[in-house]
Amino acid sequence: MNRRVFLAGLGVLAACGPSRPRLNVYNWSNYIAPETIPAFEAEFGVRVRYATYESNEEMLAKVLSGNSGWDVVFPTHNRIPPMRHYGLLAPLRHAWLPNLANLDARFRSPSWDPGLEWSVPYMWNATGIAYSRGVSPAPAAWANLWDPRLKGRLTMLDDPEDVLGACLRKLALPFSSTDPDELRRAAREAIRQKPLLRAYLNAEVRDQLVAGDVLVAQMWSTTAQQAIDASPRLAFAYPAEGFPLYLDNAVILRESRRQALAHRFIDYLLRPRVSATIAETTRTATANAAAQALLPASIRDNPTLYPPPEIFQRGIWPAALPAAAQKLRDRLWTEIKAA
């Protein structure tokens, strides 16, 4: 290689190096469409480093350092108060987010961030009951998951918040209870249910529902819809006692040195067409009303992904838990698991 070629090469490297800014986006896995990022890069002349995580804890463990290298992440709504408490979030400039107007009215003033000063609702999901239509009567309430006839064909999620929450609602107690007596009563319900359970399974149960090994499962609506797509024998119920709703949100980290670009990215995600493509590919409920209007009727009217208003209003937004309650819940969860 002679010197001129080498220098020319350096020039090319320089041109696509520092002059093209890079945005770092850390999102849940399977939470975006394949074309979302390339189209953004092409339109804005930037590069995006995109990586995925499987749980809020995985993301928080990295971001808590305040020096993680990420600009935009997608915490669930009840992680937003803790992230603010630790000073991890940058305030949003609404002037840079004109597409906020596309949001569904139900998500415009949430209790955890009433003015959307820190977070932009992205996609949401609920926990309910996935079941085989052969089960009679069809489960319609958490209390139905204690039916001895389901022994060995029933699973609960491997998640203390959802399991204790279902037990608390069965007892007509608050889903996000922090009261030690109430929590102990809920744990007793869970221990009473354990002999009926096949296992505590998360997404892995999907294949076993489809295969027919499992007849009834506590399940997230998005995962349940994937199982229903694979087997029309399956259905999903939103329990009568109330059920948890989980909303994931785009936030900008305070550590980010690309605040303007991060805003541009979030505003891009709020475009109706972009958001609709994501919602259609991932088959997850979008918080964007304008995008919902663009979806094919088969998805828009899907009762599992988008429950009708009279069901949606039974939904409960799980709250961030104080340390003492979290500690007790974990001890009770270990007790349930060891029982």
User: Which residues of the shown chain bind other proteins in the complex (CB under 8 A)?
Assistant: 55, 57-58, 60-61, 64, 81-82, 85-86, 152, 155, 158-160, 194, 197-201, 204, 208, 211-213, 320, 322-323, 326-327, 330-331, 333-335, 337-338
d(CA 308, CA 303): 7
> CB 324 → other proteins: shortest distance, Å?
10
> CB 191 → other proteins: shortest distance, Å?
12
> CB 174 → other proteins: shortest distance, Å?
20
Strands 120-132 and 234-237: what pairing?
A: antiparallel
Nearer to other proteins (CB atom), residue 76 or residue 288: 76
**Residue 258 contacts residue 157 (beta carbons within 8 Å):** no
Nearer to other proteins (CB atom), residue 58 or residue 229: 58
d(CA 194, CA 161): 16
Nearer to other proteins (CB atom), residue 201 or residue 276: 201
- The DSSP element (H or E) to which 130 belongs, if any, is strand 120-132
> CB 21 → other proteins: shortest distance, Å?
30
Rg over alpha carbons for the chain, rounded to the nearest Å, is: 22
> CB 31 → other proteins: shortest distance, Å?
19
Nearer to other proteins (CB atom), residue 55 or residue 109: 55
Nearer to other proteins (CB atom), residue 29 or residue 334: 334
Nearer to other proteins (CB atom), residue 81 or residue 318: 81
User: Which among 315, 310, 278, 276 has a CA at the least distance from the CA of 296?
Assistant: 276
Q: What contacts 306, CB < 8 A, 6 or more positions away? A: 285, 292, 300
> CB 164 → other proteins: shortest distance, Å?
11
d(CA 305, CA 86): 33
User: Which among 309, 329, 174 has a CA at the least distance from the CA of 242?
Assistant: 174
